[in-house]
Amino acid sequence: MSDSIQDEVSSGITAKRLDLALATLVAGRGAQEALSAAVAAGGGAALPSGPRTSQGDGLTFVGNGPGRWLVAGEAVSGEALTERLSRLAGPLGAVCDQSDGFVVFEVSGGRLLDTLGKLATIDLAPEAFAPGDAATTSAALIGVTLWQVDRTPRFRIAVARSYERAFVHALATSAAEFGYSATAA
């Protein structure tokens, strides 16, 4: 493979569909601080107070609205995740399993910001969006929740399952000029 072709492939975009359990966690009226303290005590992470992420004990909490979080759990079932969150939240919040309603993709690559710039309606440049930042927005007219995992950059993008095919098509089309590969979890 020539150097120019190799550079194009290595700078391309990789998308991986992750096998995560997902749930929404919503604070009860006036209970956001108490809920955050309860989750931190039992889950190892305080809930982010805005469009950010926090992590602890195998869980990622993505702030996606006032008193509202998308929670991703690795190596756990949706049922186990909702049971765990329900125990942590007690009467301070409500939990709903979203595992069957959404899919999560992890995307990375040297030209990722160029690709996402074609899709997302927000500024994802490093000076505007950093690791740990999150947003609920649209990408190719599809509602998504995305968060930046690290400076590579690497993002995770949650998409409603019914829009999965359309999102993958839009991502592949936007990344085509840079090189695109997809893998399953």
The model's pLDDT over 115-128, given as tens digits with 9 standing for 90+, comes to 999 999 999 999 99
Task: Note whether 130 and 155 are same-domain residues.
Answer: yes
Number of domains in the chain: 2
Residues in contact with 89: Cβ distance below 8 Å, sequence separation at least 6, in sequence order? 25, 35, 38, 39, 95
Contact 72/20 with Cβ under 8 angstroms?
yes
The domain boundary residue, chosen from 71, 97, 123: 97
Q: What is the pTM of this model?
A: 0.91
Is residue 184, in this structure, part of any structural domain at all? no
Mean pLDDT for 89-112 is 97
Task: Note whether 68 and 118 are same-domain residues.
Answer: no
* Predicted local distance difference test score (pLDDT) of residue 48: 97
Among all chains, which residue has been given the structure tokens 């910001």? 113
* Predicted local distance difference test score (pLDDT) of residue 7: 37
CA distance 124 to 133: 10
Give strand pairing partners of 65. 68
Task: Note whether 57 and 105 are same-domain residues.
Answer: no
pLDDT tens-digit series, residues 50-79: 999 999 999 999 999 999 999 999 989 999
Element (H, E) at 43: helix 32-43
Mean pLDDT for 144-169 is 97
CATH number at residue 85: 3.30.70.1520
Domain hosting 128: range is: 12-17+101-177
Task: Note whether 47 and 78 are same-domain residues.
Answer: yes
Task: Note whether 60 and 107 are same-domain residues.
Answer: no
Alpha carbon 105 to chain centroid, angstroms:
8
DSSP string, 64-103: EETTEEEEEESSS-HHHHHHHHHHHHGGGEEEEE-TTTEE
Is residue 4, in this structure, part of any structural domain at all? no
- Mean of pLDDT over the chain: 92
Mean pLDDT for 89-103 is 97
Task: Note whether 77 and 143 are same-domain residues.
Answer: no
Mean pLDDT for 146-165 is 97
* Predicted local distance difference test score (pLDDT) of residue 5: 34
